[in-house]
Structure 1
Amino acid sequence: MKFYDRIKACTDKNKMQEEILECSNEIAEKKEEIIAFYRKIKEDYKEIIDLDNKITEKNDKIIALNDEMIEYNKKINEKNGEIIELNDKINESYKEIIELINSIIEINDKTIEFQNKGAIKIN
């Protein structure tokens, strides 16, 4: 029952004063509950703001680390490009070495063939 209805329902003046006092006390209790609830909300809100600030700090650190990683990846990609160029040069050198070895083998074969022909003529 609403406070006004409770007070209005009283027929006796003393009963009405008691009801008014009781309603006033209930209102004061409700007011204290509301104030306590508001304080709790205020504390929770401060905690939320603190957590949000911490999250923002962490996110800023993550962004900074990501920026560093991007720079490192660029450097790694540059080094990988250099490595690929060096590997290409090494492969070219290997091809030249193989050609030289094949030439040496061919010269050795010709030398052996020539020596064998010379040896046959001598006998």
Structure 2
Amino acid sequence: MACFTVPLAEALAVTAVKHFTCRKTLKDAAAFKEKVSVLQKMLFGGSFLLAAEHVYHGEVVFYPPFLTAMENSEATAEMLHEMATVGAGMAVLTTAVWALGLGISALVKRIGLRKQTGAV
């Protein structure tokens, strides 16, 4: 129902961190900004697709209260439970996949550097 709001909130938090961190002078500010931008795109993209799917199924509407689950208390409780379980799970999994990608990228880079220097 509203599970897409959790990754969206994380995407907004990542955007704020990127904005304020990259304003300061960092050694690797460009590299950091590029890596965080990938996470931003993953979170915003996933949230957008989920929101579109929820609009298609009539769970999100363009008039107040916007989320149909907020019309009664039972549905609101179910929505909050879904946000806490499914939404948080999606946000954590997306971040974990991003971190795994960074780790694999660093490993491949390290192996490539070792092969170039001849130290295997």
Give the TM-score category using the shorter length: 0.3 to 0.5
Name whichever structure is richer in helix by fraction: 1
TM-score, normalised to structure 2, is: 0.40
State TM-score, norm by structure 1.
0.39
